[in-house]
Structure 1
């Protein structure tokens, strides 16, 4: 395999093109960096399982694909359980290489009873599934275990919705690197620990930044209850090759991960990386818009942030990146709902317009999806958007900044930069080894603020 470190037309995320990492760019990763395995399969096997929940219908859509030698007739037995409670036990005749069925539940009709089955970060209730493929004589051909959840995400005017109710997003930017192993998690326990730490710091979700994370992280986010914005690693050149590569890989990403309840948003572009001339180049705009619509086509059940940070032209949520470290200036810039037209017309927190001309989107949720970035470390070669010299000073600045953000009703949520120090970028709430820079209880208190809205 050839892996050219200077090839900027491939999706590469935060991997530096220089021999040594600089600024916000990290050492390059090459080779196999996520778990692979070899599995012995029967001649006919269950190749894929996809789940799509619906709260409106109070049911689950099941899509199954088979692979190998298809010998009719075959039956698929499906059982769904929640704890010790049996929810469904169905059997379907399979007449081809795929099956699509809706599994309806008895709707209790009132929220108190419905909530017993709904998934959320506060109550991550999963539904366990067993699928058994049988031959005509009843013999087991293949069997897989799976899980899903009843949960719904969307937007309504200026709010993000979880299970049809407004839900304030408290996210932290997570690069997904470890000092001993780079982009590869050192263990499954390390992935679980990162999910636990995000929750312990008061966040209800993460924005996985410029990385498609290991499925085991998504598993722990599903099981422990943590929302995930999944973001495509950027290519940095706009060419036909980069368009083909990124689009092909993005389609594969959505196919692999769309059944995870924890994933609540897709982010195909970040800060116009790979499309640097969005305001003036129609091809760049059409590319962003086409991936937005492609993503909505492949998964119409989650919001899509077309280009997070600025220069929105097709999006369900407007993400704003603003690293102003002065809480009072943040308050003044975003002080009320009435400033939205001026905000989109005149404000340029990252030096770029927030919404492209002709694409007014004043009635969608606005999330402060990058801010903070306060460095605190003993190293002299570290980097951050601003700096505190001690953990106590970082605590005071973080608390004041989060208090300002929580006061601003214009936002449907926030995403603080960042979870942990990553190489020279020392603006984490945690050191690279995941020890906190000030007590976790104090981080949790500041992160939660008065966000129950």
Structure 2
């Protein structure tokens, strides 16, 4: 077993349990301060209740019913394997993890529907409330909700019970780098609740469930698709949605549209978002009632769409107060392929300009929380470190972060390539190796689940301007139908680019030709007339630093491993000299250095796993990277 599973006895409370190493932010975590922030910055309502904190837990076999007695306390939202959970036990594939908590609904919520939200639960779960089965969910990285109104008591405590199973690497489900026996590049499993749990009230008559924001820079407008939790009849002419774009305290644009129609907000002289100037507009979306804009006009004479309908509602008179209001933000930014300094070789364009994308492979793991970051402050530290070091991008590797991570990236200004978490049986099979021409076969059910979770990821993260690229497959990990999936993602989201497969087996699909090159001197990708050429992984310089290792007894490795600061810096300079050469002479569009931090036995981070040691000074990194941001003539 990894050393993280051999900690303090089960009776130790979460606040005193220690990991082999911990970041400074993880050391501050208590049951009273664990993730208090609002979890959904893109769809904010003023009333909500945070359910993070201590829950009861028990682990049983899958064949028995819910327990009547529980083993102890678990700190939500940290997974059961993590030190911060206070449990630090593995959940085996044949077992079930049970959670229990008693909640009371605020009296001021009476007369409204109550939604219970889970940020993420890995992997399959079912929820009971006061003994009634509310529903189930499958998927380890996506948020989900239940309407629990009809299960609630009119007064007093309500008993929530959640049962969770996780096949980990014995199943084919998307899970990224989690395996039951961690080694090398494969890490500790994550099971159960690992993101915020919370409740909110919504109007009984109807509420806004989704607001989809698409910047159209070429037309200087914002496309808005605001959707209710259930459809409204076409014959309902008085239900409408008002959308307002705001710059500081100034209204930039506002319009009213019929429910079910697309709105377009003109954004005159838009302030474009970029890593140098990450400007964000605020947006408010309201469910309103209007006077029928067509009066006594016969129904068969009324327009059902098009300009006439849009104009009528834009002029409609809003009556009363909105029944539902959500706030969020958006940015005006454009990502595309276009001509670059080398004739015939397309490059990555940001707002119609060639901007080299320089970033690290970012795994998002933490020594005491595993997949769960400890706090906003911790995430901001990492992103700010990358910005100050001369990175303008990161590749979020085989993990989907909590929404607040992307909010901080939007706010601070860093481009993100978002990987889809890989899914395959284990790390020794269904793993298509480099140079293999034929993709492996996958079971239909496994493909359906992968594509469902891929779709959910894109839908959930759609509004974040920092995300500019979707990465469908990493290397050969569970790869299948790559050309079809790349085309599918391009149709799902035409506003972004698609990296069909990062490294190994290029199938000619997507917007990128992406190679991985871990040699001491990175190789150059060959030219491609219809796609940008990028190095999706390189580097991997290892430096194990005593006192900052996850487990000193295990193999602590890098692709090249050194023992002092000078040789590490020299090796880094040597690698980046080739990246700069390829940028200048071959129109290389991007490079991804492995990696932001050490992770468990991997010690090739720019930071140690506890984030306490910066291995190459920030000013040195910034100076090394500077030539990548000078225009190539």
Contact 1:195 1:217 in 2 (8 A): no
Match of residue 249 from structure 1: 453
Give me the whole-angstrom Cα distance separating, in 2, the residues matched to 1:365 and 1:398: 24
Among residues 46, 54, 63, which one is paired with 2:225 in the alignment? 63
How much does 1:127 deviate? 0.9
Contact 2:499–2:511 (Cα < 8 Å) also in 1: yes
Shift in Å, 1:363: 3.2
Can you list the C-alpha shifts for 1:295-326, whole angstroms capped at 9, x where unaligned? 0111011110111112221120111100001x
Please tell me whether the aligned partners of residues 173 and 449 of structure 2 are also in contact (alpha carbons under 8 angstroms): yes
SS in 1 for 2:199: coil
| Bigger RCO of structures 1 and 2 (CA < 8 A, at least 6 apart) | 1
Measured on the aligned residues, the alpha-carbon RMSD in Å equals 1.8
Q: Residue deviations 1:142-171, cap 9 Å, x none?
A: 111111011000112421010011110101
Alignment match of 1:138 (pick from 320, 327, 343): 320
Q: Deviations over 1:338-374 (max 9, x none)?
A: x836xxxxxxxxxxxxxxxxxxx54311111100001
Pair 1:27 & 2:188 matched:
yes
* Structure-2 separation of matches of 1:301 and 1:210: 22
CA deviation digits over 1:358-392, x for unaligned, max 9? xxx54311111100001101346202111111123
Return the offset for 1:7.
Answer: 2.4
Q: Secondary structure at the match of 1:249?
A: helix
Whether the 8 Å CA contact 2:597–2:611 is kept in 1: the answer is yes
The match for 1:273 is 477
* Mapped pair 1:340 → 2:526: yes
In the alignment, the residues of structure 2 paired with residue 248 and residue 450 of structure 1 have an alpha-carbon distance, to the nearest angstrom, of: 38
Name the structure with the higher helix share. 1
Could you say what secondary structure the match of 2:369 adopts?
coil
CA contact (8 A) 2:594 2:604 kept: yes
Distance 1:135 1:158 in 2: 49
User: What pairs with 1:5-20 in structure 2 (closer than 5 Å)?
Assistant: 5-18=168-181
| Superposition pairs of residues 43-54 of structure 1, within 5 angstroms | 43=204, 44-54=206-216
Shift of residue 8, structure 1, vs aligned partner: 3.6
What is the distance in 1 between the residues matched to 2:598 and 2:177?
14
SS in 1 for 2:378: helix
Please tell me whether the aligned partners of residues 168 and 175 of structure 2 are also in contact (alpha carbons under 8 angstroms).
no
User: Larger Cα Rg: Structure 1 or Structure 2?
Assistant: 2
Alignment pair present for 1:155 and 2:343: no
Residues 280 and 330 in structure 2, CA contact (< 8 A), matched pair in contact too: yes
Please tell me whether the aligned partners of residues 203 and 448 of structure 1 are also in contact (alpha carbons under 8 angstroms).
Answer: no
| Other structure's SS at 2:207 match | strand
Q: For 1:428 and 1:124, how far apart are their aligned partners in 2?
A: 27
Deviation of 1:15 (Å): 0.7
Report whether the alignment pairs 1:440 with 2:440: no
Counterpart of 1:37 in 2: which secondary structure?
Answer: strand
- Aligned pairs for 1:385-396 (under 5 A) are 385-396=559-570
Verify: 1:190 aligned to 2:378, yes or no: yes
Q: Which residue of 1 aligns with 2:167?
A: 4
Q: Distance in 2 between matches of 1:17 and 1:315?
A: 33
- What is the CA-CA distance between 1:421 and the residue it aligns to? 0.5
- Contact 1:201/1:441, CA 8 A, preserved across alignment: yes
Contact 2:255 2:263 in 1 (8 A): no
What is the match of residue 170 of structure 1? 358
> 1:29 is paired with a residue of what secondary structure?
coil
Give the C-alpha shift of residue 84 in structure 1.
3.6
- Unaligned runs of 5+ residues in structure 1 are 109-113, 276-283, 342-360
Shift of 1:293: 1.1
Distance, in Å, in 2 between the alignment partners of 1:242 and 1:443 is 42
CA distance in 1, matches of 2:254, 2:228: 20
Q: Do the aligned partners of 1:168 and 1:452 also contact (CA within 8 Å) in 2?
A: no
Offset of residue 75 of structure 1: 2.8
SS in 1 for 2:197: coil
Question: Residues 419-434 of structure 1 correspond to what in structure 2 (within 5 A)?
Answer: 419-434=596-611
Out of 254, 265, 278, the residue aligned to residue 103 of structure 1 is 265
Cross-structure match for 1:207: 395
TM-score, reference length from structure 2:
0.61
Which residue, out of 263, 276, 288, partners 2:482?
288
Distance in 2 (CA, whole Å) between partners of 1:431 and 1:315 is 34
Q: CA deviation at 1:104?
A: 1.8
Unaligned runs of 5+ in 2: 1-163, 291-318, 339-344, 425-429, 431-441, 546-551
Q: Give the 3-state SS of the residue equivalent to 1:186 in structure 2.
A: coil
Specify the SS of the correspondent of 1:40: strand
Q: CA–CA distance in 1 between the matches of 2:231 and 2:264?
A: 26
Indicate conservation of the 8 Å contact 2:226/2:241, yes or no: no
Deviation at 1:91, TM superposition (A): 2.4
User: Could you tell me which of 301, 318, 322 is aligned with 2:513?
Assistant: 318
SS of the equivalent of 2:538 reads strand
**SS at 2:213 equivalent:** strand
Secondary structure of the residue that 2:570 maps to in structure 1?
Answer: helix
Partner of 2:197: 36
Q: Distance in 1 between matches of 2:445 and 2:622?
A: 44
- The answer to whether structure 1 residue 376 and structure 2 residue 543 are counterparts is yes
Counterpart CA distance in 2 for 1:69 and 1:57 is 29
Asked if the contact 2:245/2:251 (under 8 Å) is kept, the reply is: yes
- Aligned mates of 1:36, 1:150 — CA distance in 2: 31
Cα offset for 1:62?
0.3
Q: How many residues align?
A: 402
